[in-house]
Structure 1
Amino acid sequence: MRTAVIGAGIIGLATATELDRRGHDVVAIDPEPANGASRAAAGMLAAAAEAAWGQDDLLPLARASAALYPAFVATLETAGGRDVGYRMSGTLAVGADAADRAALFELGELQSAHGVPVQRLTGSAARDLEPALGPAVTSAVLAAEDHSIDPRRVTAALREILGERLREERVCHVVRRDGRVTGIRLTTGEEIDADVVIAAAGLGIAGIDGLPALPLRPVWGDILRLRVPVALRPLLTRTVRAQVRGRPVYVVPRDDGTVVLGASVREGGVAGVQAGSVLALLRDAETVLPGISECEIVEMLARPRPATPDALPLLGTVEPGLVISTGYDRHGVLLAPLAARLGADLAEGLPIDPVTAAAVDPLRFSSDVRTRRAFADLTPPAVAELAGAGQKGR
């Protein structure tokens, strides 16, 4: 089976690798592989700590994907031939003032309601786990199931596995014949035939002719990478997430003596790193982790994340031969193993859990409810007929 994947961020790369593992003749296309949101990601696999009120559909997806990570990592490290920085030491969420303590309490209540194991700690107990935490920390929640990984190592391993099946080209058009998608066209004019095309190009989907208009918007994130002085290492042994006067900040340790500090969440403003965001991140991080002020800034980076109105991804078959896989917002690294598995299942025409399918349906925001339901309910021949009629009407 010939499958073409548009996009080579962590979602596209993981999906292409899973298809390759299943025996597909796969090609992944991206002009700048792993240089979008994946490059700026901190790599928190924090299904529990990411829980938020009103996001009941996201938490089961996040936990399911987190459960796939050990096997995903084993495959990467064996086939890709490199360590990917997988840490299983948990995540410590901390707070400073009374409002932060209240937010942590609510988070713990939500996690408990979903059956997520967490442990509430005093500020003193939190400092026993992480001595570098400052006296401003008055409360904490330990999520032992929340791990972390180095996304840059992950994407490097995925690229190594794909080898020449990853092409640094730009897709400009999705090709259709006889009522179905049959391939892609590159800006060079070359056409690549495919039984199935998977569009996993994040915000780049909007610039490809022949793909549906999707409700995606860019949500920018600024991150910093800092080198910890040798005398202070290890600054942390696990990820620390904090609420500082209601503002979120996190610090993720790496094995090379650096930490990742992030991340702002902003819509609009400058496309590059925003000075105000950097100032706020450093100030808030220093409040809970005073040693951060002694670290050397080695990188500042900003990237837009592809966000949807309900913070859930867009993943599903939208017409014969075309699967959409985008809109992962800040959860792309966490959801990559699940997205890869579901994307490959969809490419092969396999059924996926109906509750999951409904939650991530790419057409759930469509105003044409009749068409959306038709694609969901009709048999494959009927879907092909409907898609063909729609093509003729354009």
Structure 2
Amino acid sequence: MAEPFANPDVVIVGGGVIGATVGWRLQEAGLSTLIVDRDGQIPKASWAAAGMLCPVSEAHFTERELLDLGLQSAKMYPEFAAELEAASGASIDYTSDGTTLVAMDADEVRALRRLFAFQKECGLPVSWESADALHERLPMLSHLAVAGVFAPQDHRVDARKLLDAARSAFVAAGGRWLSDDCNTVRIHAGRVVGCDIGDHRIDCSTLIVAGGAWSGRLAGLPKELVPPIRPVKGQMLAIGMDPNAPLIDSTIRGRRAYLVPRPGGRLVVGATSEEKGLDDRITAGGMYDLLRGAYELLPGTYELPLLETWCGFRPGTPDNLPILGPCEVEGLVFATGHYRNGILLTPVTASAIARTVLDGAAPEVLAPFSISRFQTRA
């Protein structure tokens, strides 16, 4: 029992894709790293995610910093995926076939045109498609679809395979994994000195908070450094398409649902957004909304088998932006609060947080996402 508790250089609290890839990068750089993941549970957000890499189609008018970070991370994905697959020996099904936003009526066309204008203003690679062009490219799309926007650089990945590969790469690099709760972080004289895990005390000089929706529950943090994170429930489902004749082979997004195809005919449909705490029940209403949204976009889904239902918990912050980087406590680093964008932001987060630890200072790209933005100033 003694060896797993040998003192590491870095402790990461949370073993989702963020924690695992940060740990992998740190191990590669020569720092001994221990990941502590509560009760060995599969992290809900990582496991549940649809795996869309869509900074362009999910661009929001008031989130320019997040758009810039997402674009940088998306650009990193091809090389990141290749490195991770080589390190883990497993595919993550990174696919670069674009995403289509679909409008079904006049109101949706007006909203889509406003978004399209914003995307063009930002210099993003998008094209407007008429109903004829849309149906020529997506023949199984509902005949009610009247217009669309195609974002060729919005890609996708299998989030569950990404999670497995990240964990495998971390362990293969020599990282240690502990399936337990981190009870408290120990801080003395303004710096991290260790943490308590179960009945064991571990000394470390760096602790990274990467616990997703559970990040705010870590004891021992000063009140002003408790991350203001809430769980946002998302229900999802999967439908089985004919693998030899799938209804679609690229992601499409409508007002009520998004549809993400997988190899082998699996079609992921998501997602609800519910302020229900950690209620993990699958509801009839949630499934109805998703199935209705899928049918409105692809009527052919009506006859297809329902394969799976599940839910996850996005780590939401008050401004919907992640909490990234160091703080006034030396050695305490945040990598959490990614909300809907954890899978997209994995490469840039892993790289930037690793550089923060290795260099002792955060890269400039993390500046807008410091926890200091939530601290009350007298």
- TM-score norm. by structure 1 comes to 0.88
Alignment pair present for 1:237 and 2:249: yes
Letter in 1 for 2:339: D
Give 1:353 shift.
Answer: 4.4
What does the per-residue CA deviation read over 1:73-95, in whole Å, with 9 as the maximum and x for residues that have no partner?
00111111111111100001111
Worse-superposed segment, 342-351 or 18-27:
342-351
- Is the CA contact (8 Å cut-off) linking 2:353 and 2:362 kept in structure 1? no
Structure 1 residue aligned with 2:300: 291
Instruction: Provide the rounded CA distance (Å) in 2 between the counterparts of 1:35 and 1:214.
Output: 18
Let me know the Cα RMSD of the aligned residues. Answer: 1.6
Letter in 1 for 2:117: E
1:64 to 72, 76, 97: 72
Structure 2 residue aligned with 1:214: 227
- Is the CA contact (8 Å cut-off) linking 2:326 and 2:362 kept in structure 1? no
Letter in 2 for 1:229: D
Give 1:34 shift.
Answer: 3.8
Worse-superposed segment, 329-338 or 176-185:
176-185
What does the per-residue CA deviation read over 1:72-126, in whole Å, with 9 as the maximum and x for residues that have no partner?
1001111111111111000011110111111211111111111111010012211
Letter in 1 for 2:20: L
Instruction: Provide the rounded CA distance (Å) in 2 between the counterparts of 1:80 and 1:259.
Output: 26
Trace 1:55-134 onto structure 2 (pairs within 5 A). 55-134=63-142
Instruction: Provide the rounded CA distance (Å) in 2 between the counterparts of 1:365 and 1:178.
Output: 23
SS in 1 for 2:253: strand
Worse-superposed segment, 59-68 or 21-30:
21-30
Instruction: Provide the rounded CA distance (Å) in 2 between the counterparts of 1:263 and 1:304.
Output: 11
What does the per-residue CA deviation read over 1:136-183, in whole Å, with 9 as the maximum and x for residues that have no partner?
111010000100000100111111112262221211111223431122
Trace 1:188-203 onto structure 2 (pairs within 5 A). 189-203=199-213
Structure 1 residue aligned with 2:238: 225
Instruction: Provide the rounded CA distance (Å) in 2 between the counterparts of 1:207 and 1:200.
Output: 12
Alignment pair present for 1:260 and 2:268: yes
Give 1:197 shift.
Answer: 0.6
Instruction: Provide the rounded CA distance (Å) in 1 between the counterparts of 2:155 and 2:11.
Output: 31
Structure 1 residue aligned with 2:49: 41
- Is the CA contact (8 Å cut-off) linking 1:34 and 1:155 kept in structure 2? no
Instruction: Provide the rounded CA distance (Å) in 2 between the counterparts of 1:34 and 1:140.
Output: 36
SS in 1 for 2:345: helix
Structure 2 residue aligned with 1:4: 11
Letter in 1 for 2:40: E
Q: How many residues align?
A: 362
Letter in 2 for 1:311: N
Alignment pair present for 1:182 and 2:226: no
Instruction: Provide the rounded CA distance (Å) in 2 between the counterparts of 1:310 and 1:165.
Output: 34
- Is the CA contact (8 Å cut-off) linking 1:228 and 1:258 kept in structure 2? yes
Instruction: Provide the rounded CA distance (Å) in 2 between the counterparts of 1:308 and 1:254.
Output: 30
Instruction: Provide the rounded CA distance (Å) in 1 between the counterparts of 2:304 and 2:207.
Output: 45
1:23 to 10, 30, 35: 30
Moved over 4 A (4+): none
- Is the CA contact (8 Å cut-off) linking 1:221 and 1:305 kept in structure 2? yes
Give 1:317 shift.
Answer: 0.9
Instruction: Provide the rounded CA distance (Å) in 1 between the counterparts of 2:96 and 2:228.
Output: 35
Letter in 1 for 2:251: T
- Is the CA contact (8 Å cut-off) linking 1:219 and 1:266 kept in structure 2? yes
Instruction: Provide the rounded CA distance (Å) in 2 between the counterparts of 1:220 and 1:72.
Output: 28
Give 1:284 shift.
Answer: 1.6
- Is the CA contact (8 Å cut-off) linking 1:229 and 1:294 kept in structure 2? no
What does the per-residue CA deviation read over 1:23-62, in whole Å, with 9 as the maximum and x for residues that have no partner?
2111111033543111110000001011012111210010
Give 1:131 shift.
Answer: 1.7
Instruction: Provide the rounded CA distance (Å) in 2 between the counterparts of 1:298 and 1:235.
Output: 16
What does the per-residue CA deviation read over 1:8-36, in whole Å, with 9 as the maximum and x for residues that have no partner?
11111111111112121111110335431
Letter in 1 for 2:216: A
Instruction: Provide the rounded CA distance (Å) in 2 between the counterparts of 1:71 and 1:193.
Output: 35
Letter in 1 for 2:349: A
Letter in 1 for 2:26: L
Letter in 1 for 2:207: V
- Is the CA contact (8 Å cut-off) linking 2:234 and 2:311 kept in structure 1? yes
SS in 1 for 2:148: strand
- Is the CA contact (8 Å cut-off) linking 1:15 and 1:343 kept in structure 2? yes
SS in 1 for 2:307: strand
Worse-superposed segment, 345-354 or 27-36:
345-354
What percent of counterpart residues are identical? Answer: 34
Instruction: Provide the rounded CA distance (Å) in 2 between the counterparts of 1:58 and 1:210.
Output: 30
SS in 2 for 1:347: helix
Structure 1 residues 335, 237: CA separation in 2 closer, same or farther (over 3 Å shift)?
same
Q: Structure 2 regions of 5+ residues with no counterpart?
A: 1-7
Instruction: Provide the rounded CA distance (Å) in 2 between the counterparts of 1:147 and 1:235.
Output: 18
- Is the CA contact (8 Å cut-off) linking 1:222 and 1:263 kept in structure 2? yes
What does the per-residue CA deviation read over 1:339-360, in whole Å, with 9 as the maximum and x for residues that have no partner?
1111111112344444x33310
Letter in 1 for 2:33: V
Instruction: Provide the rounded CA distance (Å) in 2 between the counterparts of 1:77 and 1:358.
Output: 30
Structure 1 residues 206, 122: CA separation in 2 closer, same or farther (over 3 Å shift)?
same
- TM-score norm. by structure 2 comes to 0.92
Structure 1 residue aligned with 2:286: 277
What does the per-residue CA deviation read over 1:191-242, in whole Å, with 9 as the maximum and x for residues that have no partner?
22222110100122222211332221221111101211356x3221110111
Alignment pair present for 1:13 and 2:20: yes
Alignment pair present for 1:320 and 2:327: no
Trace 1:355-370 onto structure 2 (pairs within 5 A). 356-368=365-377
